[in-house]
Amino acid sequence: MSLTMYIDELGESSPKRYKNSSYFILTGCVMNDDNKRDLMNNLDHIKFKFWDTTEIILHSKLIGRKEKEFEIFKNNISLFKSFTQNLADFFRHCPMYLLSVAVDQQVAFRNNWDQRTVIIEPIRK
């Protein structure tokens, strides 16, 4: 069995900037390579349903702010609910695992952690 992990982060990994970025969150999505094609096809169906294209990148920041491609939801709450329900159904039924760590940057700063430690230390625990 072969696995793939996609990793993304939220926030800055620099404890010195904790006032600008209170938390650093690192999340990995792990899936069996045998399921990857089906998962991507299911996501493409959702993208095509709302944009008539599969070229959309589902970026949480843009979705939450309803910016760029996601402006279509700005004045249409029922469309947004439909979209988020489609995503929820996708995640509820897809065979993958999510791993996540969060670092309180102010605590990291007080403990004299540097940028490398913020990324490495939570993974070791």
- What is the pLDDT averaged over residues 12-19? 90
> pLDDT at residue 30 above 90?
yes
- What is the pLDDT averaged over residues 78-104? 93
Residues 6+ apart with CB under 8 A from 55: 47
CA distance 36 to 26: 21
Report the pLDDT value the prediction gives residue 120, as an integer from 0 to 100.
87
pLDDT in tens, 95-108: 989 899 999 999 99
Report the pLDDT value the prediction gives residue 94, as an integer from 0 to 100.
87
pLDDT band per the 50, 70, 90 thresholds, residue 125: low
Range of the domain at 83: 3-124
> pLDDT at residue 57 above 80?
yes
Q: What percent of the chain has pLDDT over 90?
A: 69
Please write down the long-range contacts of 57-62, taking CB distance under 8 Å and 24 or more positions apart.
58/87, 60/10
CA dihedral 84, 25, 107, 13 (to 10 degrees): -130
Q: Is the pTM of this model over 0.85?
A: no
Query: pLDDT averaged over the chain?
Result: 92
- What is the pLDDT averaged over residues 41-70? 94
CA distance 30 to 103: 21
Domain count, the chain: 1
Alpha helices for 13-67 (secondary structure H) = 33-51, 60-65
> pLDDT at residue 45 above 70?
yes
